[in-house]
Amino acid sequence: MAATVDRDGTGAAGGRVTRRRERTRARLLDAAFTVFAAKGFGRVSIEEVCEAAGFSRGAFYSNFASLDELFFALYRDRAELIAGQVADALARDGGPALDVPAAVDRVTGVLLLDRDWLLVKTDFLVHAARAPAVAATLLAHRAKLRAAIADRLRRARGHTALPAVLGDTDGAARAVVAAYDGVTVQLLLDQDLTAARAWLKQLLTALLTDATTPEPPEHTEPSQHTEPSEHPQPAEHPG
């Protein structure tokens, strides 16, 4: 039986994955990404992935037990990359207060809005919707992304006000991820990356800005005493 690679990086025989195998695995993942994005997960065979990577089926099975396992590994690597990018972008503020416009600029600047990735991600979402075990894994990775956002918002509590309608920081983090999901769907359809980043920036700024803070009253000039008219009107006499 061919050895497989467990999620902790060890092979089925218990040995550490060698650098050569790591390179092979990386090439298989890169090739799979290209093929999945072009054809869709359900229309790709192991042979096509191997051909694109320049390896035999033996090389494939020494790293992955199935196409499903490779697909999951591909999604996991990209999802963890995104979660790390968001966490790093949010961590760059020096103090506890969150500079919302600056943080939004950083987050929208690093988020993966690559159409090929969004195609693969959508395929994985559809696949997970029909496979409860895969769905549980997908939910866990989404929770990791939300946790990175919620952690930063939690540290800003007391320094930066969030809209009360979102509830707590976890609710705000869910709203941020939902905004990202919505923008990426639009991007898949119209393929306008510039508009997608601009719209995402507007949405996140609106979500993370407390619009209920009362504005200071407008300054009004004190009323002036009205001087009597130089030509007063004669009083009317009863008829």
**What is the separation of C-alpha 120 from the centre of its chain, rounded to a whole number of angstroms?**
15
Would the pLDDT of 11 be above 50? Answer: no
Q: What local confidence, expressed as pLDDT, does residue 13 receive?
A: 40
CA-to-CA distance for 89 and 142, rounded, in angstroms?
17
Distance CA 74, CA 30 (A): 8
pLDDT tens digit string along 33-79?
999 999 998 899 999 999 999 999 999 999 999 998 898 898 888 87
Contact assessment for residue 150 and residue 169, using Cβ atoms and an 8 Å cutoff? yes
Task: Report d(CA 144, CA 182) in Å as an integer.
Answer: 19
Confidence class of residue 173 from pLDDT cuts 50, 70 and 90?
Answer: confident
**Arithmetic mean of pLDDT, 19-28:** 91
pLDDT at 6 over 80: no
What band does 211 get if pLDDT is binned at 50, 70 and 90? low
Our measurement of the distance from residue 190's CA atom to the centroid of its chain's CA atoms, rounded to an integer in Å, reads 19
- What are residue 5's DSSP bridge partners? 11
Q: How far apart are CA 16 and CA 18, in angstroms?
A: 6
pLDDT (tens digit, 9 = 90+) per residue, 103-141? 888 888 877 678 888 898 898 889 889 989 889 988 888
Q: How confident is the model at residue 2 (pLDDT cuts 50, 70, 90)?
A: very low
